[in-house]
Structure 1
Amino acid sequence: MDTMRERFISVTSRLLDEDPRLALVLAEITMDGFLPAQRRHPDRVVNVGIREQLLVGVGGGLALTGMRPVVHTFASFLVERPFEQVKLDFGHQGTGGVLVSASAGYDWPAGGFTHMAPGDVALLDTLDGWTVHVPGHPDEAEALLRHAYAAGDDKVYVRLSQQSNTAPRPVEGLRFQTVREGRAGVVLAVGPLLDNVLAAAEGLDLTVLYASTVRPFDDAALREAVRSSASADVVLVEPCLAGTSTAAANNALADVPHRVLGLGVGRAELRRYGTIDEHTVAHGLDPRSLRARLTGFLHPGVR
């Protein structure tokens, strides 16, 4: 199976051939994969070098000319380092574009803390009008990238990961999907953590929802899942900073007595970088840790 990043290269290269409005801006990262596309479209595949503020600024400038810019690098250098440019060159200017990250969260532990951005979605939450996709499989990434590129002049962030679920889920608009139904509580699994959540919930009487798009937050799907359950306890399991979507869930259930537990990447820096799997365990996002956290929070009847 190819990776999300490889799928990004293939689908974007094809669409550059088909859509003269599409433009790609890179900062060295993934440039090798786009060399054939650059040879075909030298005016629409731009490599600015390792200059991330310029990367976003060029994307914003292309948007002002009527182009649909796709801006790409590691998440920490796409959202965090040039955040002022994201805020001003897209939000303040009223333009749209597609930010596509690589190696979100802790996907490249050897790169160290400089290359980790678990707070990327939470940071974008401080801005208005961003759609955020968190695919859990390369097939979902392709579908969501196509949706993002065709989304008029909207502002879209596509959070690609090296982690992946075994099988894709159908991408049905921007709605959460019901993977299984239960009566003792609701668990919302985001992107590549679905497999771990399903393994953790095996044998437990829980509803499992799946989200490959987290902004806009699907209030209606969460409310319906809670109404169908005997419990209004909700657990969010996200591959980004723990609690990123807690406020959104609380807002969705504002008229319902409920409890929400937000699980995800912890705030403490892990200085022994290790592997992706070791980070997953350290943050309590592996199946065994998730099961203990689920049963510890939800009604004892789920044990």
Structure 2
Amino acid sequence: MDTMRDRFISTTSQLLDDDPRLAVVLAEISRDGFDAAERRHPDRVINVGIREQLLVGVGGGLALTGLRPIVHTFASFLVERPFEQVKLDFGHQGVGGVLVSAGASYDWPAGGFTHMAPGDVALMDTLDGWAVHVPGHPDEAEALLRRAAAGDGRDYVRLSMQSNERARPVTGAGFSTVREGRAGVVVAVGPMLDNVLAATEGLDTTVLYATTVRPFDGAALRRAVAGGGTADVVLVEPYLAGTSTAAANDALAETPHRVLGLGVARRELRRYGQLEEHLAGQGLDARSLRERISGFLTRT
């Protein structure tokens, strides 16, 4: 199976052929994958080198001319380093574009903390008008990317090396119900779904699946908890723990509830290790999730 990043390159290359409104802006990362597309569209595939502030600034400038830019690099260099440009060159200028990241929270541990970005979604959440997409499979990444490219708004698509075994239909921006139960609701975001399903096997819980987390689908969460007394909700996100707890609390403001936000801790794991070891170290593997979820749901 190809990776989400592989699918991003092939899909975007095709979109460049089909839609003259689109342009791709790179900062060396994934440049080789766009060699053929650059030969076909030298005016719409732009590599700025390792200059991330310029990367986003060029994207914003292209948007001001009427193009729809697709801006790509690692998450830490796309959201964190040039955050001022994201805020001003897109949001303040009132233009749209598609930011597509790679690397996720810790996909390449050998790169060290400079290449890790568990706080990217929380940081984007401070800005108005951004839709945030977190696919859990390359097929979902393609569907979300095509939808974002065809639109006019501001979209952030977060790609990862982590992937669920199979894709789920991406039919809209809302959460989908994967499993129904009566003793709590677990919201699994993107590549967390398989581990959440394994962790909740045999538990009487509803599992919702989210590939678009902003806007937050509060209506789906309210429907999932309807009919009970106190609502118990667990959010399992592949980035900073607690990123969506405020959104869940707001959605359930009229319902007695408890919310547990699971994700990447603030502490830095300083050993390189492997992706799977970081997943376990953050308590996001299936075994750890079962202990944490079941412990929360049975607590009185």
User: Number of aligned pairs?
Assistant: 300
| Partner residue in 2 for 1:22 | 22
Shift in alpha-carbon separation, 1:165–1:228, aligned structure 2, 3 A: farther
Equivalent AA in structure 2 for residue 217 of structure 1: F
Equivalent AA in structure 1 for residue 210 of structure 2: A
Give the alignment of 1:80-159 within 5 angstroms: 80-152=80-152, 154-159=153-158
Equivalent AA in structure 1 for residue 65 of structure 2: T
Q: Does 1:37 align with 2:29?
A: no
TM-score (normalizing by structure 2)? 0.99
d(CA) in 2 for partners of 1:230, 1:250: 16
- Residue 230 of structure 1: CA displacement? 5.5
Q: Does 1:258 align with 2:257?
A: yes
- Residue 172 of structure 1: CA displacement? 1.4
d(CA) in 2 for partners of 1:229, 1:115: 43
Deviations 1:139-182 (A, max 9, x none): 00000000000112x00000000000000000011010000000
TM-score (normalizing by structure 1)? 0.98
Runs of 4+, deviation exceeding 6 Å: none
Contact map agreement 1:197 1:287 (CA 8 A) in 2? yes
| Partner residue in 2 for 1:219 | 218
d(CA) in 2 for partners of 1:65, 1:12: 20
Equivalent AA in structure 2 for residue 137 of structure 1: H
| Partner residue in 2 for 1:182 | 181
Deviations 1:203-256 (A, max 9, x none): 000000000000000010000001155650000000010000000000100111
Contact map agreement 2:110 2:272 (CA 8 A) in 1? yes
d(CA) in 1 for partners of 2:194, 2:249: 25
- Residue 299 of structure 1: CA displacement? 2.6
| Partner residue in 1 for 2:172 | 173
3-state SS of paired residue (2:100): strand
Equivalent AA in structure 2 for residue 84 of structure 1: E
Deviations 1:111-148 (A, max 9, x none): 00000000000000110000000000000000000000
Consecutive unaligned residues in structure 1, runs of 5 or more? none
d(CA) in 2 for partners of 1:243, 1:38: 40
Equivalent AA in structure 2 for residue 210 of structure 1: Y
Deviations 1:93-121 (A, max 9, x none): 00110000001101110100000000000
d(CA) in 1 for partners of 2:102, 2:293: 30
Contact map agreement 1:185 1:231 (CA 8 A) in 2? no
Contact map agreement 1:22 1:67 (CA 8 A) in 2? yes
Contact map agreement 1:186 1:229 (CA 8 A) in 2? no
